[in-house]
Amino acid sequence: MNILSALTETLSDAFAKCGYDASYGVVTISNRPDLCHYQCNGALPAAKAHKKNPLAIAGEAAALLQGDGRFSSVETAPPGFINLRLSDVYLASLAKDMAADERLLLPLMERKTIIVDYGGPNVAKPLHVGHLRSAIIGESLCRLARFLGHKVIGDIHLGDWGLQMGLVIAEMEERGLGADGVTAEDLNEIYPAASAKAKTDAAFAEKAAARTAALQKGDPGARKDWASIMSVSKADLRRSYDILGVSFNCWYGESDADPYVPRVMNILQERGLLRESEGALVVDVALPDDKEPMPPMLVQKTNGADIYGTTDLGTLLQRKELFDPDEAWYVTDNRQAFHFKQVFRCAKLAGLLEKIQCFHFPFGTMNGKDGKPYKTREGGVMRLNDLIDTVVENALRKVNESDIPMTGEEKTEAAYKLGMAALKIGDMQNHRTKDYVFDMDRFLSSEGKTGPYLQYTVVRIRSVLAKAREAGIAAGEILPPETDAERDLLLALPLVSDALLRAFSDKAPSVLCETLFDMAGRFNRFYFEHKILQCPGHALRASRLAMLGLVDRVLTVLLDILSVEIPSHM
RNA sequence: GCUCUCGUAGCUCAGGGGAUAGAGCAUCCGCCUCCUAAGCGGAGGGUCGCACGUUCGAUUCGUGCCGGGAGCGCCA
């Protein structure tokens, strides 16, 4: 079991035995590390409820813990804190338990089937920086949920059915381009051109809308163009996501939801939810106690074409039938919060949510140093591939400054892994829901809270472990800590399972980043102060090697959840 | 205008009804004859946007205001 739950159980018991409510026994990580490792503040509210002296209540509960070998001290402090220190022997045994447990002491959870909708690229449109966060945050949430034991289906949810398809098809027609001869480079240029044109050229905009409708109605010409755009674009997208280390279980798109749309419309019709409004079909989703104005959700445009809300409903029905999930997560930027609010309400009215719980887990914007959405120097939208190239290029420069001898191949590998880690940790160390400032120099630095710092820590550990293997030195039993540096390192280990649980409940990869930096810092201090291979005494050396092995595994597991890879040298 | 969100050290950010509000960067000062110094230690730096309220206790909760960002039916 995770340590906080275990300690809380103990304290809850103690409170209950003293005649107070067990809920006062909540234990938290100490905010006064100089005084204790863990603390319980429950005596303060208990005192209020029972009109007694809080310090006396704390004393009653604390008295029951005396003699418990897990603690080196159980003290009370005014006005009513209970301060707990873990004993060295217990710390060593916790580390041993953890080393023997694949799941790092995580409690078993009820296994759920979760479909995660992330990535969300548009076919025929180049990926830009706005797609980065959905991809890496979504990927991390998938991996986290899987590590906790859930069945997770990651779906890219391609935007392959909307107006952008009509725009591209219309532009291809105007240029007299055959559907077969299109390349990814063409597409990257055609969409922005067509999109710009539609804004000034009303006739073209109408044509694009008509092509969109034709595509959705099954027009053979439009379908043929669409199919060739799809195959070219998907191959291109696959390459980009491979580079990012993001892998989806499914590559369904809005087009795959299309067959479900008529059924959704039927359901809406049968339930009497459809209403005509200004030539379009809408569903009223307002509730009596809404504070904000809640306009009806549009499900069919005046020209008969579907709109994204409709395809989202179709997708939900598709997912329900294909996967029968318990939960559906949508990882998109927070500007879509209102949209999902409408969709979820509509889905509920349509009876699609009897079993599925839908959640929108939004994220903030990636800004430049000026605090505005990140742009190229020219003020345009930054392509994701360009951003990746630049980061890897800069990482290579850093790698070339390294004192460690590396082959050209190793340098390339290191530059790629460092660059990706810089991007990912730079992003995910910030809380998901907040905007953040993208600063490549800062993210790529080896100093500070960066991906490369974490990677360097693991590389060092593995270097020592490799030397131990070469010398035939085996790891042994983890001994109780004798120095502050050892103790601090061992204290960090049991926090990991709690961090995983918190990251999961908040859907916040940043929690794992915090844990990683904390543990890496403690390890680097330990490493600086102690010799491992040349330390006095076989038992001590074997114990420290075992600690290194465990720290290596813990860091690797956490980094893998964040899809950060470790270079062999740096 | 309405709704949501953010405002914490010079900068980038954690935290969160309780004991002295934490990191990293930057600045300054130290540490490699020794397992990767892309490392480690130390110092300075804060009326937690403002006001009022709830509370034994508010930076944290509530209300109002100020300031930034976003959303508010035929793009996704």
CA distance A118 to A131: 9
| Shortest CA to C1' contact from A76: nucleotide | B19
Tell me: cis bond preceding A452? Omega within 30 of 0 counts: no
Count CB-CB contacts under 10 A for residue A559: 23
Asked, for residue A105, whether it belongs to a domain, the answer is no
Radius of gyration of chain A from Cα atoms?
28
What CA–CA distances, in Å, run from A159 to A229, A257, A337, A345, A562? Answer: 12, 11, 18, 22, 25
Exposure string of A404-432, with b = 16+ CB inside 10 Å and e = fewer, is: eebeeebbebbbbbbbbbbbbbbbbbbbb
pLDDT at A186: 85
CA distance A316 to A261: 10
- For A186, counting Cβ atoms within 10 Å of its Cβ (0-12 exposed, 13-18 middle, 19+ buried), the class is middle
Is pLDDT of A102 > 90?
yes
* Co-location of A464 and A334 in the same domain: no
pLDDT at A312: 95
Closest alpha carbon to A120 in A381, A363, A353: A363
Averaged pLDDT, A154-166: 91
* Co-location of A418 and A551 in the same domain: yes
pLDDT at A185: 85
Query: How does DSSP assign A369-407, residue by residue?
Result: TTSSB-B-TTSSBPBHHHHHHHHHHHHHHHHHT-SS---
Å separating the CA of residue A555 from the C1' of nucleotide B71: 39
Å separating the CA of residue A292 from the C1' of nucleotide B1: 12
User: Which CATH number goes with the domain that contains A484?
Assistant: 1.10.730.10
pLDDT at A304: 85
Provide the residue type at A534 as one letter.
Q
pLDDT at A369: 87
Q: Which of A86, A121, A138 is the last residue of a domain?
A: A86
* Co-location of A426 and A297 in the same domain: no
Q: What is the pLDDT of residues A163-214, one digit of tens each?
A: 888 999 999 888 887 767 788 888 888 888 888 888 888 899 889 988 988 8
A328 CB and strand B closer than 7 A: no
pLDDT at A511: 96
Q: Where are the beta strands (DSSP E) in A19-150?
A: 27-29, 38-40, 71-77, 81-86, 113-117
Asked, for residue A459, whether it belongs to a domain, the answer is yes
Contact A570, A418 (CB under 8 A): yes
Contact A418, A496 (CB under 8 A): no
Whole-structure pTM value:
0.95
**B24 nearest neighbour residue (CA to C1'):** A448
Residue with the two structure tokens 């430049």: A368
CA distance A556 to A563: 10
Asked, for residue A323, whether it belongs to a domain, the answer is yes
Print the domain residue range for A196: 163-244
Is pLDDT of A98 > 80?
yes
* Co-location of A212 and A287 in the same domain: no
* Co-location of A389 and A465 in the same domain: yes
Q: Which chain B positions have some atom within 7 A of a protein CB?
A: 1-6, 12-15, 18-20, 22-26, 34-41, 56-57, 68-76
Higher-pLDDT residue of A372, A61:
A61
Q: Which of A244, A272, A289 is the last residue of a domain?
A: A244
Least confident of A49-58, A87-96, A195-204: A195-204
CA distance A254 to A256: 5
φ/ψ of A302, rounded to 5, equals -60, -30
Q: What is the pLDDT of residues A542-569, one digit of tens each?
A: 999 999 999 999 999 999 999 999 999 9
A406 CB and strand B closer than 7 A: no
pLDDT at A23: 92
* Co-location of A174 and A229 in the same domain: yes
Å separating the CA of residue A509 from the C1' of nucleotide B75: 30
pLDDT at A164: 85
Is pLDDT of A247 > 90?
yes
Å separating the CA of residue A464 from the C1' of nucleotide B35: 6
Q: Which residues contact A321 (CB under 8 A, 6 or more apart)?
A: none
CA distance A552 to A523: 10
Distance from CA of residue A480 to its chain's centroid?
A: 35
Strands A366-367 and A436-437: parallel
User: Which CATH number goes with the domain that contains A46?
Assistant: 3.30.1360.70
* Co-location of A291 and A167 in the same domain: no
CA distance A315 to A257: 5
| Shortest CA to C1' contact from A162: nucleotide | B76
CA distance A392 to A15: 56
* Co-location of A399 and A479 in the same domain: yes
Asked, for residue A152, whether it belongs to a domain, the answer is yes
* Co-location of A138 and A174 in the same domain: no
Asked, for residue A466, whether it belongs to a domain, the answer is yes
* Co-location of A351 and A415 in the same domain: no
pLDDT at A125: 84
Arithmetic mean of pLDDT over chain A: 93
CA distance A330 to A120: 10
Contact A83, A77 (CB under 8 A): yes
CA distance A376 to A396: 21
Closest alpha carbon to A124 in A215, A62, A6, A56: A215
Averaged pLDDT, A90-105: 96
Q: What is the pLDDT of residues A498-528, one digit of tens each?
A: 999 999 999 999 999 999 999 999 999 999 9
A539 CB and strand B closer than 7 A: no
Closest alpha carbon to A325 in A559, A155, A509: A155
Asked, for residue A98, whether it belongs to a domain, the answer is no
pLDDT at A290: 83
Q: What is the pLDDT of residues A397-407, one digit of tens each?
A: 999 999 999 99
* Co-location of A176 and A136 in the same domain: no
Number of separate domains in chain A:
4
User: Which CATH number goes with the domain that contains A139?
Assistant: 3.40.50.620
A39 CB and strand B closer than 7 A: yes
Contact A458, A425 (CB under 8 A): no
Asked, for residue A401, whether it belongs to a domain, the answer is yes
A330 CB and strand B closer than 7 A: no
A159 CB and strand B closer than 7 A: yes
A48 CB and strand B closer than 7 A: yes
Q: What is the pLDDT of residues A423-446, one digit of tens each?
A: 999 999 999 999 999 999 999 998
Q: Which of A212, A229, A244 is the last residue of a domain?
A: A244
* Co-location of A137 and A171 in the same domain: no
Asked, for residue A11, whether it belongs to a domain, the answer is yes
CA distance A178 to A6: 67
